[in-house]
Amino acid sequence: QQQVKQSPQSLIVQKGGISIINCAYENTAFDYFPWYQQFPGKGPALLIAIRPDVSEKKEGRFTISFNKSAKQFSLHIMDSQPGDSATYFCANGGSNYKLTFGKGTLLTVNP
């Protein structure tokens, strides 16, 4: 089973700060690296994703940085807001569009 190792398990950031979550993957055969966001009592929702032909993708305050040689990718949340408090999952793609998820990072943004 290909693994996706995510860190940290939990993260506390002050409002306006930068949140950084890291992910290391093993399966280099597939080319899709998404981040999902999950609020309590809800299912995860796709936040942002990157393909390895680019090193960075930005959508609003959310940025994915991708390092193919290190087999790592990270999520940066700029100007973090209390509404960003959620659990974040990275994932790596497999055959039949299966996703293997990291164990998640619980982000708390204090006001």
CB distance 55 to 66 below 8 Å: yes
Q: Which is nearer to another protein, 63 or 105 (CB)?
A: 105
> Among candidates 62, 64, 77, which has minimal Cα distance to 107?
77
Total of residues contacting another protein (CB under 8 A): 24
With b meaning 16 or more CB within 10 Å and e meaning fewer, what string describes 33-55? bbbbbbeeeeebeebbbbeeeee
Q: Residue 110 has which token pair? A: 């204090």
Residue 102 engages another protein in binding (rule: CB under 8 A): yes
Among 74, 104, 107, 109, binds another protein (CB under 8 A): 104
Distance in angstroms (rounded) separating the CA atoms of residues 102 and 33:
11
Stretch that binds another protein, among 19-27, 53-61, 78-86, 92-100 (CB under 8 A): 92-100
Q: Which is nearer to another protein, 6 or 19 (CB)?
A: 6
Q: Mark residues 30-69: x for contact with another protein by CB under 8 A, - for none.
A: --x-x-x----xxxxxx--x--------------------
CB distance 38 to 87 below 8 Å: yes
Residue 96 engages another protein in binding (rule: CB under 8 A): yes
Q: Where on the chain is the footprint of another protein (CB under 8 A)? A: 1, 6, 32, 34, 36, 41-46, 49, 89, 91, 93, 96-104
